[in-house]
Chain A
Amino acid sequence: MRSKVLGALVAAALAAVSTLSAEAADRIKIGFISTLSGPSAALGVDIRDGFQLAVKMAGGKVGGLPAEVLVGDDQFKPEVGRQLAEKNVRLDKVNFLTGMVFSNIMLASVPVAFESKVIYVSPNAAPSPFAGKQCNPYLFVASWPNDAYHEAAGQHATNRGYKNAYLIAPNYQAGKDSLTGFKRFYKGNVAAEVYTQLGQLDYSAELAQVRAAKPDALYIFLPGGMGINFIKQFVAAGLSKDVPLIVPGFGSDQDIIRPVGDAMLGLFDTAHWAPDFDNAANRKFVAAFEKEYKRIPSVFAAQGYDAALLIDAAVRDVKGKVEDVEAVRKAMKAARFESVRGAFKFNRNQMPIQNYYLRVVARDNQGRLVNKTIGTIFKDHGDAYVQECEMK
């Protein structure tokens, strides 16, 4: 009883004190929630590093105003992500929310932002419901619609003439989107469609099934720690010699290359960006990232960087008046910034329309393993759900 009284008094006093500082609206506050621990931490860390690099290169400013980026770790748990979002939106009163890696965390957390008319800029996940029926004016996607890489991979599989593909993805919204996207453009037969548990680390049972099915291609969507373990176990089971593996870009980027190593050589994947893109913005980004962090950037880092640039452009175009959320939205939709991927434009549902490329894991001129661009699969590709979106 006594402690409840005490707690209430303390809270009241602290609240009174905090109100004094909340009125300084000449700063941009950005809530950054991401997966910074656990087997898939490398993804969140890359997005954060890319994002913070952009802010640093602008002198710690976003859109000309000093920026405060509040970083939180969702620990790969949707309810933790949601609590962080509630704190950022309702207590810290951020102007923008961003950072999440995984669709399940995003689906649990972003409604909190939307309710309070806070814009969420996605540097990664963009689940299909948000592309279609549940498209939301406060959601801007700086990466790609969830299905995109998988659609490109399906097209690649068709181009290569594969007839009997085995598909594996984790059992959550993004996993569902991935195989749906793959099948949309893959014209061969599907040997099996298997959904594993999100966060699963041991794939012995699934690999035995693959061996028994003898497919002519294996397509897996297993980001982060899941992919690292799967590929290692795939090689250990001797299957890498029998079954060609295709992955989307996030199944074969730096976070997986580093722990798996040379076994990744020759792996084909699809993505919207590669470190070897030859435009001014990208050359600047890659050089700065390698200098600052002593490692090659992944797609995740590139996406984080672009997300920061997108927010920066919007704030700059409204001349810092971020209280007018509608004006910010309009400015953001125009997307007047130099993206590392080249041209950038939004679809009606505020997800990008862009090109997708075929990449392969190879050695660069310093002998390091990196993704190289070898061809274009789709040009100006949107998504299949925009018809269901009612936004203009």
Chain B
Amino acid sequence: MRKALFTTLLLIAFPLAMQWLGYLFYVSFASRVMIYAIAATSLNLVLGYGGMLSFGHAAFVGAGAYVASILVAEGVASAWIGWPAAVAASAALAWIIGAISLRTRGVYFIMITLAFAQMMFYLVNSMKAYGGDEGLTLPRRAELGLGLDLGNEVVFYYVVLLVLLAALYALHRVVHSRFGRVLIAIRENEARVEALGVPVYRYQLLCFVIAGAAGGLAGALLASHGKYVNPNVLHWLQSGTLMIMVILGGVGHLWGGVIGAAVLLGLEHVIADYPLPWLAQVAPNYQQHASLGVGIVLLVIVLFAPQGIAGLISRKRHA
């Protein structure tokens, strides 16, 4: 608990420090990391706690991003309309996709979620009215009113931080509720839970929808943050990236999504933008091959430390 409080205080102080130093770029970067943390956390719910290998989660993030963007592009700037609309749209999409996909099991479930996500990708790509492949550039971020200017990096950061903390708290409550315990039981031994008469399908569907809705909220924030959205946000490789974050951070651990997003995006940025001269001597152009490091780390984690960073931390504590 104390660790969480300390971290939260640091997160609150961070943008003020950055602003004083004159580096608003890092405040913007931190907002982006937190938005991906929200998306990864939503995937963690369905993957880590629900045990459902959804390979199409990017579709929900993308749906939220596009709904929020289209509204702003069409002149509806209020976030109070845009963001709930994004959440509703992703929830509806998750309901449809989940209702069909959850009738299948195992590898077929993976394939069908992937198929649906790709379908969404191609559909969005063909929407020339909203940019198609070029993507959609927005004139401004959504407006919250209340005297808050989301165009201000520091203000936007705090809003995102609030949403992230709320999402983590909600996940915590869900996991420790009866619903959450049933979900975990289903993940451990579905046949037994079914035999007990529990409507497994309904529990899984609800979990899927909640995760999809949270993903949609992350998408809406992402679109506002970058003021740009592009069909690649729905591509299956993006789903893969979200999965990497969850696995890296610790699948099934509360902070798994946050740790994974921070470490992956942080490492990518540091490798790409801060050249280490001694490393460049040994391996010239190493900065363009950051994905190699990511791949190796991921492989190592999958083979040897499947509980991710959070798992390593808690193992040390209990050792």
Do residues B263 and A8 form an inter-chain contact, with CB atoms below 8 A? no
Do residues B134 and A172 form an inter-chain contact, with CB atoms below 8 A? yes
Do residues B226 and A82 form an inter-chain contact, with CB atoms below 8 A? yes
Known: A12-B18, A91-B273. A108 touches B259 (CB 8 A): no
Do residues B232 and A79 form an inter-chain contact, with CB atoms below 8 A? yes
Chain A, interface residues (CB within 8 Å), range: 20 to 34
Q: Is the interface of B mostly helix, strand, loop or mixed?
A: helix
B227 to chain A, nearest CB (A): 8
A108 cross-chain contacts in B, Cβ below 8 A: 134-135, 137, 228, 230
Do residues B21 and A111 form an inter-chain contact, with CB atoms below 8 A? no
Partner of B21, one of A16, A73, A107: A16
CA distance A79 to B309 in the complex (A): 29
A272 to chain B, nearest CB (A): 25
CA distance A261 to B227 in the complex (A): 44
Chain B's closest residue to A8 (CB) is B14
B30 cross-chain contacts in A, Cβ below 8 A: 8, 11
Binds A, one of B3-11, B67-75, B194-202, B292-300: B3-11
Do residues A12 and B17 form an inter-chain contact, with CB atoms below 8 A? yes
Do residues A2 and B313 form an inter-chain contact, with CB atoms below 8 A? yes
B258 cross-chain contacts in A, Cβ below 8 A: 1, 4
Q: Is the interface of A mostly helix, strand, loop or mixed?
A: helix
Chain B's closest residue to A10 (CB) is B270
B270 cross-chain contacts in A, Cβ below 8 A: 10
Do residues A82 and B273 form an inter-chain contact, with CB atoms below 8 A? no
Q: Is B274 an interface residue (CB 8 A)?
A: yes
Do residues A107 and B137 form an inter-chain contact, with CB atoms below 8 A? yes
CA distance A3 to B312 in the complex (A): 12
Q: Is B190 an interface residue (CB 8 A)?
A: no
Do residues A1 and B23 form an inter-chain contact, with CB atoms below 8 A? no
Do residues A79 and B18 form an inter-chain contact, with CB atoms below 8 A? no
CA distance A134 to B313 in the complex (A): 53
Do residues A1 and B266 form an inter-chain contact, with CB atoms below 8 A? no
CA distance A11 to B266 in the complex (A): 9
Do residues A1 and B134 form an inter-chain contact, with CB atoms below 8 A? no
CA distance A7 to B309 in the complex (A): 14
Partner of A11, one of B3, B26, B135: B26
Do residues A7 and B262 form an inter-chain contact, with CB atoms below 8 A? yes
A5 cross-chain contacts in B, Cβ below 8 A: 6-7, 10
User: What per-residue 1/0 map shows which CB atoms of A12-45 lie under 8 Å from chain B?
Assistant: 1011101100000000000000000000000000
Q: Is B84 an interface residue (CB 8 A)?
A: no
Chain B's closest residue to A104 (CB) is B134
CA distance A24 to B259 in the complex (A): 36
User: What per-residue 1/0 map shows which CB atoms of A67-103 lie under 8 Å from chain B?
Assistant: 0000001000111001000110011000000000001
A304 to chain B, nearest CB (A): 21
A376 cross-chain contacts in B, Cβ below 8 A: none
A122 to chain B, nearest CB (A): 16
Q: Is A194 an interface residue (CB 8 A)?
A: no
Chain B's closest residue to A4 (CB) is B262
A11 cross-chain contacts in B, Cβ below 8 A: 26, 29-30, 266
Q: Is B128 an interface residue (CB 8 A)?
A: yes
Do residues A104 and B133 form an inter-chain contact, with CB atoms below 8 A? yes
CA distance A372 to B23 in the complex (A): 52
B4 cross-chain contacts in A, Cβ below 8 A: 1
B280 to chain A, nearest CB (A): 15
Known: A1-B255, A19-B22. A78 touches B273 (CB 8 A): no
Do residues A198 and B133 form an inter-chain contact, with CB atoms below 8 A? yes
A10 cross-chain contacts in B, Cβ below 8 A: 270
A21 to chain B, nearest CB (A): 13
Partner of A171, one of B132, B233, B255: B132
Do residues A3 and B135 form an inter-chain contact, with CB atoms below 8 A? no
Known: A15-B23, A172-B134. A4 touches B7 (CB 8 A): yes
B250 to chain A, nearest CB (A): 11
Do residues B232 and A77 form an inter-chain contact, with CB atoms below 8 A? yes
Given contacts A1-B3, A8-B14, A103-B134, could you give 19 more A-B pairs where the C-beta distance is less than 8 Å? A3-B263, A4-B258, A4-B259, A7-B262, A8-B10, A12-B17, A18-B23, A78-B230, A79-B233, A86-B28, A104-B133, A104-B135, A108-B228, A108-B230, A111-B227, A111-B228, A172-B133, A172-B134, A173-B134
Enumerate 26 A-B pairs (CB-CB under 8 Å) in ascending A order: A1-B3, A1-B4, A1-B255, A1-B259, A3-B262, A3-B263, A5-B7, A5-B10, A8-B30, A11-B29, A15-B18, A73-B288, A77-B232, A78-B133, A78-B135, A78-B230, A79-B135, A82-B226, A86-B28, A103-B134, A108-B134, A108-B228, A108-B230, A171-B133, A172-B133, A198-B133
What are the 6 A-B residue pairs with the smallest beta carbon separation, nearest first?
Answer: A104-B134, A15-B23, A90-B25, A7-B266, A4-B262, A91-B25
